Amino acid sequence: AQSVTQLDSHVSVSEGTPVLLRCNYSSSYSPSLFWYVQHPNKGLQLLLKYTSAATLVKGINGFEAEFKKSETSFHLTKPSAHMSDAAEYFCVVSYQGGKLIFGQGTELSVKP
Amino acid sequence: GAGVSQSPSNKVTEKGKDVELRCDPISGHTALYWYRQSLGQGLEFLIYFQGNSAPDKSGLPSDRFSAERTGGSVSTLTIQRTQQEDSAVYLCASSREVRVESSAFFGQGTRLTVV
């Protein structure tokens, strides 16, 4: 069975410092993995996706994620946080046939 | 259209009434998904449609919930005899096809409040 676990429900960083949002997945076969962001009162926006090509995936707004099969992880990182990065982030694994399984979400706060 | 469109954006209904939520997917997208997001919760899968195949209804929480997709485009999610626990944001998404690498694009959601 496929599942995804976001290890932190809330992460707080200072502006200009690195961001790390952790995600682990379980899958019986090679998954596709996504990160989505949801700003307050906005829709979900795709940040990046991994689909068995390069293991280091670059997304929008300076975010990137690295697929590590040995660790079953797909952590999201950004070198320097910006105030506008404050939002809810969801790690998502794609079920065979396209069904998306969402993690519980990580709320990112950015302090000035 | 340019994106996934959902209507209404907000709906307040009395307990016991039926509601219909509408989703217009991106033109040309053959896959359509419905999810529910409750306060402080992640996204709960409800149902998805792919072309003319039978929909995957495995996420529908009860027989009060149903969905249809007419002509492979617009979809309607119907909740009968609404209960307070149905209050949530209902999100629709579409993708070009149901393949593991397809990206799903989400609408803004319908916020349903059952009073």
End-to-end CA distance of chain A: 41
- Residue A60 has a pLDDT of 92
Q: How confident is the model at residue B100 (pLDDT cuts 50, 70, 90)?
A: low
Task: Evaluate the CA torsion angle A79, A82, A84, A87 in order and state its sign.
Answer: positive
Name residue A35's beta-bridge partners.
Answer: A48, A91
Tell me, what DSSP letter sits at residue B73?
Answer: S
Burial degree of B103 (CB within 10 A; 0-12, 13-18, 19+):
middle
**For residue A36, what are the β-bridge partners?**
A46, A90
Which residue from A31, A44, A99 is facing B106, i.e. has the nearest CB? A44
Residues of A whose CB is below 8 A from B4: 43
CA distance B60 to B24: 20
Q: Which of A31, A97, A105 faces B42 most closely, judged by CB atoms? A: A105
Give tens-digit pLDDT for B17-30. Answer: 999 999 999 998 88
C-alpha distances in angstroms, A14 versus A6, A9, A75, A84? 21, 17, 19, 12
B1-14, pLDDT tens digit by residue?
A: 579 999 999 999 99
Rounded to an integer, what distance in angstroms lies between the CA atom of residue A65 and that of residue A51?
12
Please give the pLDDT value at position A91. 96
Per residue in A31-50, pLDDT (tens digit) is 889 999 999 878 899 999 98
Within 8 A of A32 by CB-CB distance, chain B residues are 100-101
Contact B48, B36 (CB under 8 A): no
Return the SS3 of B61: coil
Considering CB atoms only, which of A45, A98, A104 is closest to B98?
A: A98
A109 pairs with which residues across the strands? A12
Across the interface, whether the CB atoms of B43 and A102 are under 8 A apart is answered yes
The H helix count followed by the E strand count for chain B is 0, 10
Mean pLDDT calculated for residue range A19-27: 93
* A44 contacts B91? CB cut-off 8 A: yes
- CB-based contact (8 Å) between B41 and chain A? yes
B48-76 per-position pLDDT tens digit: 898 888 899 999 999 999 999 988 789 99
Distance CA A29, CA A1 (A): 10
Mutate to test the interface with B, among A25, A29, A100, A106 (most CBs of B within 10 A): A100
Inspect the interface and report whether the beta carbons of B31 and A98 lie closer than 8 Å.
yes
Q: What is the pLDDT of residue A28?
A: 67
Contact A43 B109 (CB under 8 A): yes
Residue B70: what pLDDT?
84
Residue A97 binned pLDDT confidence (cut-offs 50, 70, 90): low
Residue count of chain A, please give it: 112
Chain A interface, best mutation among B101, B108, B110, by max A CB count within 10 A: B101
List beta partners, residue B70. none
Q: Which of B115, B104, B113 is nearest to B35 (CA)?
A: B104
Peptide bond into B61 cis (omega under 30): no
As a whole-number percent, the residues of chain B with pLDDT over 90 amount to 69
The predicted structure's pLDDT at residue B53: 85
Q: How confident is the model at residue B101 (pLDDT cuts 50, 70, 90)?
A: low
- CB-nearest to A100 from B4, B33, B101 is B33
Phi-psi region of B53 (alpha: psi -120 to 50; beta: other; left: phi over 0): beta
